[in-house]
Amino acid sequence: MTPKSTKTVTSEYSDPAIQEILRILQQMDNELATFAESVRFNGDMLGEMKKSTSEIIQENKELKRDREVSKTRVSSLEEEVISLRSPRTLLSVRVSLRSVT
């Protein structure tokens, strides 16, 4: 990550202590700029993860709904099979077959 602040401190001060303080302040400014960029990057990544999580949650809801629909269909088919196995249904199927032949 590149620091946003790349200003160089030039000083009219000849005192080495003041120049050292200015150099330290410049270094801190650069470090803060790098940190701010890192925070922005992490915020962007967090936003992407949140978006992905929302999509996964939505997909999961759809899968649960599909599963419930499938369970309902299976139950309906089971009931239909049971009704087809009943003696009355079997008798009517045999009678229908005899009348066809």
One-letter amino acid for residue 65 of the chain: R
Instruction: Say whether pLDDT at 7 is over 60.
Output: no
Is 5 inside any structural domain? no
% of the chain beyond a pLDDT of 70: 76
Secondary structure (3-state) at 1: coil
Q: What is the pTM of this model?
A: 0.46
The answer as to whether 4 is a domain residue is no
Q: How far apart are CA 50 and CA 52, in angstroms?
A: 5
66 belongs to a structural domain: yes
The answer to whether position 87 is within a domain reads yes
Find out whether 2 and 36 touch, Cβ atoms under 8 Å: no
Report if residue 78 sits inside a domain. Answer: yes
Q: Is residue 95 packed enough to be buried (19+ CB in 10 Å), middle (13-18) or exposed (0-12)?
A: exposed
> Is residue 8, in this structure, part of any structural domain at all?
no
Q: What share of the chain is helix, strand, coil (3-state, %, to 5)?
A: 85, 0, 15
Domain holding 35, by residue range, is 16-100
Number of domains the chain is built from: 1
Q: Is residue 2 part of a domain?
A: no
What local confidence, expressed as pLDDT, does residue 81 receive? 80
